[in-house]
Structure 1
Amino acid sequence: MKLPAFLRLLLEKDGKTGGCLEIDKPFEQRLALTATLSFFLGRTVLGGSIAPFGPGFYAALRSLGGTGFSLLSALFMILGCVTLFKWEQIVYLFLAVMLLTVFIKPEKESRHREVLDSLVAGLVAFCVRTAIGFFQGPSLYAYISAFIEGLCVLVAGLLSFSAIAGIKESPSSRTARQALLALVLVSVGGLQGLYAFGLDVQMVTIMAGVLAMACVGGPAAGAIAGLSGGLIASLTGSGDPFAPGLLGISGVLAGIGGWFGKAESVLGYLASGLLLSFFAPSGTIVSKRLLEQMVSCAVIPLITSPVKKTLGRYLPELSDESKAKVVPQNPVDPLKLKVAAVSNALSEIGNLFSQAAITMTGSGTAPGRDEIASNDVESKGGPVTSTIRYLVERVCAECDERSFCWEEEFGAVYEAFTDLVKKMDLSGRLSIRDNTVLLKDRCHRYGELVSELNHRKEIERLERKISTFDGETRKCLAFQYRCLGQILSVRSISPEPDIRVSTGNRFSGREERFRVRLKGKTIPAEGAQKPGDVWVRYDLGPGKTLVVLADGMGKGDLAAKQSRESIDILKSLLDCGLDYDSCVSFLNSALYLAWRPDGFIALDCLLIDHETRRAYFHKLGAPPSFIKKKDGNVLVIRGSTPPAGAATTVPYLGSSEPVEPGDSIFLVSDGVFRSSPVPARAEHLIVSRLSRLKESSLDDSVKALITQSLRYQHKTPPDDVTVVGAMIEGV
């Protein structure tokens, strides 16, 4: 860029200084930086009326940069203010610049120059704003606002002095570079009111900056950038009051993803938008926010090594050199730290969903559209009055006899309407043929009234169902996020190989007292080639043995697929280190969120603890189990919990019984009960059959129960028949 000789001479009139910013950039770039900052700082208005950064920046530039740069700054500053089309701000900035030009002398060396010139700038701003307020109409609010603006100009002047003077005198000054970065952040407020293709340019710019800082500096830098940018957006009126918190959370999740790569940073950033959409007041705001986030992701390809190096100069904490110098006293594996951070983030997200569900439960069902419009009426007359007003507006408004009913016969009509609404509340639905309603003989539009009331009641029912489903979904998500956080927290701690614990799927280091031998047999249902029942043994360690029998809904390949998938999920969660109770609850919540009527699974879980010598039963829609003691007595273990996936939570109401070597435990599917000639007495028949088996082996006992189930079905049972036996043997 070639400048005219007279303009270059004006800007570099002092051969010693060579301009205002003595950094390793060409003269044209320094000029462009000054003009850009001046333009956007002139447009930055806080709260719709306070504009402190323009005068503060001009005062510092006037004192340190010389006449040329200060005049250029004033020109672009006023030009930026003109684009706001607010004449009060234009007059204020023009008068402030004129007075500062008179009172501040360029390049005048004096003690405490920064403080004195900043005080002068604050006094000038106070006087100009007071004079403008006097002509518009003197008031106490105008004087207080002028005083606050003067203080803001004082702070902005000191910040500008630190940025300009520090960089000019000591190019490696860390404070000066951070002050300049703060000025650049503040200048983003000058993008207020600018829109492109329906998108807020200021919010897109802030989101791009948050994503860039999070990708380069991690969660801390992303959180600080999000909070700072959101604060600027809120103060300038572009963002909602919750913008700092929303952008801060987005910065944290994007920073966590940035540990693993740019793509993961973008996924974390977009995931934060999806999670926070639960708290958006409307779908339009959600779609607009997500679209702005997607557009801001275009900054990722621009984050190259030179860009990271430049950011490292202004924020040394983000540079690779500074990170390499920090050597912790107790070095920890970085991967474990990252896993622990992700675990904490998942747990916090789970708590967030849990608090949202509690808030929804505490506030009751979601209000309907008619309830929102009539909150003032409900506060005075209650829901009955609100419903009557709704009927009058929807039905009586176009009736020819409205004046007669609601003016001449007001008392009787109001009483009849009240009776109609109360009958609706009691019955839940009205019929036109109901002859007990007083209003039926008085109103010739009675049918429309009944239709409107039934419609309103149905809408309320649907809203309550949606609200309930939303709350249950949040509870399930909260539990699953906490479980995932628990899995990662277990993974982030490397246990000693010889240490055993007695909780979850870790076991005691003591010697085994007995062992468990299993035998199972399954007969497919009639017309099915593959049984839908699946059972599996899982050793949680030398001290615990888990046996799970899964029975999918129906029979054949579909039921077998559902049972196998449920078993695989349960085994995967156990392999990850999640405790047994949480694994069962996690599987239940996953099946509930799948929301398939045929997706319920009957789970019969048996956990044998060798150390405590007890058998723990956890039944989800499963039939009774049987324990045959070594003395011949038979115990029946029943459960009353619905199948997995039928409810949001699993009550921890499992039962336990002591076991000794010589005892046998039998898990059976519901096909054993359905195959009985009298299903109501199937339990009694099984107990009798086991009692008659005196010294039989485990294989013989399983075969005997299978044979008894097939005796009356000609070897073609209507449902899958499965018997799993567990023999407790001494070591």
Structure 2
Amino acid sequence: MIQKYGNAAAGTADSYMTKERTIQQKTKGERSFQTFLLGIFFRTDLFFLAAGFLLGRAVIITSLTPFVLPFFATVFWMKRRRRWADSIAVLAGGLTLSVGQAFYALLGLLIFLAARRIVMIFHPAHEDRWLPVLVFVSGFTVRLLCQAAFTLNLVWTDVLTAGAEASLSVLVTLIFLQSVPLMSTRVNHKLFRNEEIICFVILISSVLAGTIGWHMYMLSVDHVLARYAVLLFAYAGGAAIGSTVGVVIGLILGLASVTSLYQMSLLAFSGVLGGLLKESGKAGVAGGLLIATLLIGVYGNGYAGLSNEFADSAAALLLFLLTPKRFIRQMASFIPGTREYQAEQQLYVRKLRDVTVGRVEQFSGLFQSLAKSFYPPVEEEASDDDLFLSKVTARTCQNCFKKESCWVKNFDQTQQLMLELREEARTGGSKEDRVQLYRRWREHCSKADKTVEAIRKEQGLSELQEKMRRNVQESRRLVADQLKGVSQVMGDFANEMKRERGLHEWQEEMILSRLNGIGLRVESIEIYNLETGAIDIEAMLPNDQYGACEKVIAPLLSDILGESIVVEKKQASDLPGGPSRVVFISARAYDLETGVATAARGGGLVSGDNYSLFEIGSKKCVLAISDGMGHGERAAMESQDTLQLLKKVLKSGIHETLAIKSINSILSLRSTEEIYATLDLALIDLQNATSKFLKIGSNPSFIKRGGRVFMLDSGNLPIGIIRDFNIDVKAEQLKSGDLLIMMSDGIFEAPKHIENKEVWVKRKIKEMQTNDPQEIADLLLEEVIRVGDGRINDDMTVIVARISHHIPEWSSFSSEGSAKHFSKAE
């Protein structure tokens, strides 16, 4: 089952990836073509000129014109270079309607500019905040002035009309501030919100209101363009977007012309039907408009006007069929919820991931280069005897009268004697050799005491400089190791980021259908990884009050995927009655049960031994014992610091060998006191039972397998005692039922009268009649204390771990009702 599942999944993923690459290649060409057309349209200002002209003609409720001042305010707020040309277009549009409309637009422009100049003097910043207020004041004033100029009489209804128009202008201003900048070429391609889409539709509807009254033969231009817009949005965004656009356009056209109020029903219905039939292509969307025209057209003008309605719909359909699909796909990429929109999101996330991976890889390479530069150069140790002798002779022989005799005639003898004096100052020697050397030197040199003193002083300085040099080299090596470890971690992180989330749509649908087939209500399934041993699946389902996740879903997934699946995390919804989020992962192949027994020296409360049991990721377990030198609080602090450093470094992802070396360098450099710590470390992979053992100055560990007990040992010195050492890592393949026993020196060396302690410990472990780790740890500690006559002369710690095959809590099962469906899909 799982092999066929994997093969089918691979084939589906390959075909999907090939299809995605083809779509991406096409999308690049389409985007360039679309950008070219839009660039021509916007660079020549055709959109703003046409929009200004039509908005200057747009009138709603017979006399209100709430679009002129918002358009002025928007283009001046955008600080367009051609804002005066756009303003003239508005005046021209109003003039085609009537002289009064043109006068209203001109007067509104002048009053708005004057009020804007006054406000800019006192509040030059945050123009968008006071712009709606400015539009309200200007609109209210202009309407009253126009009413007074044309009628020479003002009544309270005129004031109410002016207030209503000004309030509506404020709302339109807020909408234009959101939608008009979207049509500017200075705005890059982005993913728009639903609110921005609706504002843009309102802008289009306002522009279409300016076409009311235009006719071309038997066709109404406003009806044709409105239905064409609904067809585009229904085909691009589906039923929800199509119906919304139909309602908005129909409402505004209805306000502009009461005779067109029924158009709202026709447009909304055609948007719904076209969106529902969009999977059938353009033909389905066209069919939706024809059905809506037939049903709603009869309702509007009766059978007499049905021919005109069909003519308008036919013209809109012709425009729709002539529209390239690339343009519609480009529209769909701006609408939330569409496939094109999701593709844009995935493309953005992929680009962001690629940029992040590139930066992480750059930092990884930088740290790698820094690590190489910090490593001390490998140089052959050259003799510094010449430099040493030159410093000594500069103080003693430079002004001596026997200089020529010593360094010209007897050069070899003088040099040999001074080097012997240096060696004696460095290492010391027997009293007789020292007396004889001094006697020979006094016979040779006239300033013997002064020269000996100079040699001793210079040797002391030389040893101090050598020690400082070694410290600097060790510090550089520590920094280099840390930088190398960080470089490795960042490189691994970059490689993990490169792995995209798999395309598992087919598998998700199959699993979801199988779960629903047995009566489980699961809202969604998302697969993040299907690799064997690293499966990661997330499910959303209603509140799980009866443990269906552990009892039903995990066993069923185990049967589907061919390996044991367990629940890693279950998170309830914050909202009452909301769905729960459950994460399913691959179960461990092995389980590890541990037991620990400890005792402080003399039965005290503070032990110099410390232990740590923790996990790295979800598949590796770490067991560690550290014994600080001596006993008491200082030893406890030293061993505890060692384990804390080990835990943090290993969890960061740095390799265990490099982690041990880094800890050794830190502990050896941070103090000059002879305070050391041992470390006994075991890393066990619970997926395949492989284990690594690192022993730094620690005692042997023992593995009990059936009736045999064998020992693991290493000869590394304790941490901090030397600065440069090689770590001996031993690997061992464990088996189910094996017992691992780790102990500190308090346990291993407690029996003083026993010569071969390894044999004694092996025999005691072999004689244990139980396999419980905690019981073995307690019995072993008790036996050691009993052998020592009840005295605890050192801190004692023993860790016992038993590895065993993982046994699922619930057995997997298959559902026959959905297995047939699975076999068909496979």
TM-score by length of 1: 0.46
The higher radius of gyration belongs to 2
Q: TM-score, normalised by structure 2?
A: 0.41
